[in-house]
Amino acid sequence: MSDCIFCKIIAGQIPSAKIYEDELIYAFLDISPINFGHTLVIPKEHHQSAAAIPENVAGRMFHVASRIGILLKRMEEFDAYNLHLADGTAAGQVVMHAHLHVIPRGAEDNFRWNWRQLNYPEGKMAEIAGSIAEKLQKKLAE
């Protein structure tokens, strides 16, 4: 896609700190990291939504991202990592070329997810699970 910043990075039109590249995916350092080493793993083909990424490419992304995570967590003061993916603006997606964040984490890194924990009203959990399960069956059969 001609006006996509990540497509331009893959094409070498914009510089990047490359970590890895194969025929399906590209990995490079995030320019504004949560911690140093914060990496982005992207499909070479332009897809806005992660859900549009073919299964073999998505699998490759996860495979390589988790291995980058293992390497990152042995570096510096890190001993853990987060994988993060935002699909859609409301979820925090800013760059509209699907990407998987690999974020090295350490107990003393002073970064906390603002993660709330709601409670389901009586019956709601089973209702939502049933609804998702039914729709997922159809989606996976498409």
Is residue 95 a contact residue for ligand AMP (CB under 6 A)? yes
- Walk across the sheet containing 25-29 and list its strands: 18-21, 25-29, 39-43, 100-105, 80-84
With CB under 6 A as the contact rule, the residue among 13, 92, 127, 128 that binds ligand AMP is 92
Say which entry of ligand AMP, Zn ion, none residue 31 contacts (CB below 5 to 8 A, set by partner kind).
Answer: ligand AMP
Is residue 86 a contact residue for ligand AMP (CB under 6 A)? yes
Cα torsion angle, 13, 17, 23, 25, sign: negative
Which SS3 state, helix, strand or coil, does residue 80 take?
Answer: strand
Say which entry of ligand AMP, Zn ion, none residue 92 contacts (CB below 5 to 8 A, set by partner kind).
Answer: ligand AMP
The answer to whether 99 is a known catalytic residue is: yes
Q: Return the number of other C-beta atoms located less than 10 Å from residue 98's C-beta.
A: 25
* Euclidean distance between CA atoms 18 and 31, whole angstroms: 11
Is residue 83 a contact residue for Zn ion (CB under 5 A)? no
Tokens matching residue 108 = 């003393």
Is residue 52 a contact residue for Zn ion (CB under 5 A)? no
Residues that bind ligand AMP (CB under 6 A): 5, 14, 16, 30-32, 40, 86, 92-95
